[in-house]
Amino acid sequence: MNALINPAYAKCLEICQECLIDCKVCLAKMAGKESMNDCPYCCVQCIEVLQATIGLMAADSKFTKEQCELCAKVCDYCADMCEAHDHEHCKKCAESCRKCAEHCRKMAK
């Protein structure tokens, strides 16, 4: 981890980055596939909020707690949508989103 980054954010940053990758993979693999819910659109939203969350943590922003709270909500939404599918990439995305939501909630406190 970069020595200039607030060490309190280290684990959450790592998990947000993993979730970002898993959401991008899910989005790419869902391209052109039928969906009975908001997947893959939920991944688009999750990617956007994860990028903002990572950026604010990296900047040690005073808005990090609020952003982490929003990130947890969006990750839960994405997990709900992706869990409904049987695709391996959706299951991985949902699992990653749940983990990210849990860590972001801890940061929001």
Cα(41)–Cα(7) distance, rounded to whole angstroms? 33
Classify domain 7-108 by CATH number.
Answer: 1.20.1270.360
pLDDT above 80 for 4: no
Confidence of residue 5 (pLDDT cuts 50, 70, 90): confident
Burial of residue 71, with CB atoms counted within 10 A of its CB: 0-12 exposed, 13-18 middle, 19 or more buried:
buried
CB atoms near residue 30 (< 10 Å): 21
For the stretch 21-65, pLDDT in tens is: 999 999 999 988 888 999 999 999 999 999 999 999 999 999 999
